[in-house]
Structures are given as C-alpha cells and as structure tokens.
Structure 1
Amino acid sequence: MKLTFKSDSPNQTVEIAKSIGPLAKERKFVSLSGPLGAGKTAFAKGIVACLCPECINLVHSPTFAIVNEYMGKTPVFHFDFYRIKSPDDLYSTGFYDYEERNGVIIIEWGELFEDCIPEDAVFVEIIPEGENRRTINITYKD
C-alpha cells in the first residue's frame, strides 16, 4: 500500500503523522527517511502526539542520544541511526531489546540500515520541495 501526502508546514506534517498513529501502533516500527531538515522529527512528533500525547512537548531529535523514550499510554522509542556506523552498533545501543518492550519504534535515517527493520514496518519518505513544502510517501505491506 502506498499513500502520498503534501505538506506545506511542519504543523501539517505533524497532523499527517497523527493520522497514521494507529497504523504505527499496529506495525510497531516506523522508518523515516529524507535529507537533513526534511521533517523527520516533526513526523515523529505527530506519531507521539497520537500514541503518547502526554509526551508531545518532549519530542526532539535523538541524534546525540541515539534513542529518546516517551513513556505514556503507548510507549514510543525514537531512534536516530545517523551516527550509527554499522549494523553491529545497533546491538550496543540496545535497539533489538526495544522490540520486546511493547511499544512503537520510530527510526530516523532508517534507510541507512534498512535490512535491520522488519519488512512489515511502515516506511515514510519525506521529500523537500522548497522551504516548507514536502511530499510524504508512506508505504507498507498489506
């Protein structure tokens, strides 16, 4: 299945992401791809707003921490693979342990280690088309 959305602002990106929150909860994994500044963290914020609304003001890029945990109604574990050097490094971050924690795992820069993401995940590609305009492609297996 492929869905395509157009966004004209970070707030609109958040709203689009909110709409796929239930799908994210069902699939457990969301991989976000796009260049620096594309809106990956804004998209993650929308999923958190849907699944863990009490944590919405805590959402920020996990680039330096590698993972941010948002513990609420539905736990969300927000990873950033940008600084990960190899698939083996995912073990030292505890990435695979999070699968057993009964929450949703969002991965920024998921395309860097796509082989480590389950095939039934939700894959989101954010394509900048100007300062604020984005095309957001969401794909997942039926």
Structure 2
Amino acid sequence: MESKEIITHSAAETQQVGEQLAQRLPKGTVILLDGDLGAGKTTFTKGLATGLGIKQLVRSPTFTIMREYHDGRLPLYHMDAYRLENGGGADLGLEEYFDSDGVLVIEWSQWIADLLPADYLRVSLKRADQEDEATRTVTLTAHGTLFVQLVATLKRPADE
C-alpha cells in the first residue's frame, strides 16, 4: 500500500486535487471516498468530474444512491452507500460498475466492503479542525498495484 497526504486550504484546492487525479485515471477505476459529513467528498468529486471533462453539475447522490455523468473523457459513476447499511448492496449489480468504461466513486463504502474489488484507491478527507472550515487533509491510499505510481506523482495544487 502506498499512501500520500495532501493538505488543501480551500474548497478550490480540494477540487484541484480531484481534477489532477482524474486526468490520470484509467477506465475501470474504483475510488472509495471516506470522510464525515461536510468533509468535502462532493467537492472532491466535483474536481474529479472537471478533470474528466464533465460539464454537468455534480451533486451528492445521498437520496438517489447513484448519479451518472456521461459527457466526459470517461463516464463518472458517483455512488453513496450510506443507505445500504442494512444490506442491499449485492442487489445493485456493482460488478458491472467495477469493470466499467468509467470511474466509480463510492461514498460510505464500509457498508459494501465485502463486495469491493482488490484494486481501488481510497481517498480520505478530514477537516483540520472545527475552527478552520477550509483546510483539509486529503489522504490517498493505493490498494493493489494499479494506483501506487499514480499516488506517488500527485502534488498539492500550490506545488504544481
């Protein structure tokens, strides 16, 4: 496992990390997004969408479970597994998304942990503290060999 921490100081910088990452992603990528409410998961996903060339407005999939965006270099499938806490993930046909032509982003993945593929990228977002609303620690951890080099090459937006 290869991990890297990137500190961002604004929502725009958090989006830029997602954008930078998206420009390097191959089809069939699975990204797990971890973080408390308000940690920046949707903000990060907006950056991914921008990096994939998606022009649609990206919104949280909390109430729909899955949102799909098809107008970029690769499709983006944004899933929120929070409501699957009591099961039901196996009925969604996730295997099709794991081997898809796009990028699958899963929030609250712990509720479907037994269904996840061996290769994925975990992105954890954490607020610096309660008083600093903008600063986040973005931790990227490669699971499997596919993302090790990619994680090593990412930089904080101000360092580019």
**TM-score grouping bracket, smaller chain normalisation:** 0.7 to 0.9
Q: Which residue of 2 aligns with 1:132?
A: 134
1:23 positional shift = 4.3
1:111 aligns with 2:113: no
Q: Which residue of 2 aligns with 1:80?
A: 80
Q: Which residue of 2 aligns with 1:52?
A: 53
Structure whose residues are more often helix by fraction = 1
Is the 2:27–2:101 Cα contact (8 Å) retained in structure 1? Answer: no
Task: Tell me the distance in 2 between the aligned counterparts of 1:104 and 1:20.
Answer: 11
1:111 positional shift = 3.1
Instruction: Normalising by structure 1, report the TM-score.
Output: 0.87
Q: Which residue of 2 aligns with 1:102?
A: 101
- Cα distance 1:54–1:80, how it changes in 2: closer, same or farther (>3 A)? same
Structure showing greater radius of gyration is 2
Q: Which amino acid aligns with 2:53?
A: C
Gaps of 5+ in 2: 149-160
Is the 1:4–1:137 Cα contact (8 Å) retained in structure 2? Answer: yes
- The Cα RMSD (Å) is 1.8
Gaps of 5+ in 1: none
SS state at 1:101 partner: coil
1:27 positional shift = 5.7
Is the 1:3–1:139 Cα contact (8 Å) retained in structure 2? Answer: yes
% identical aligned pairs = 31
1:91 positional shift = 3.1
1:14 positional shift = 0.4
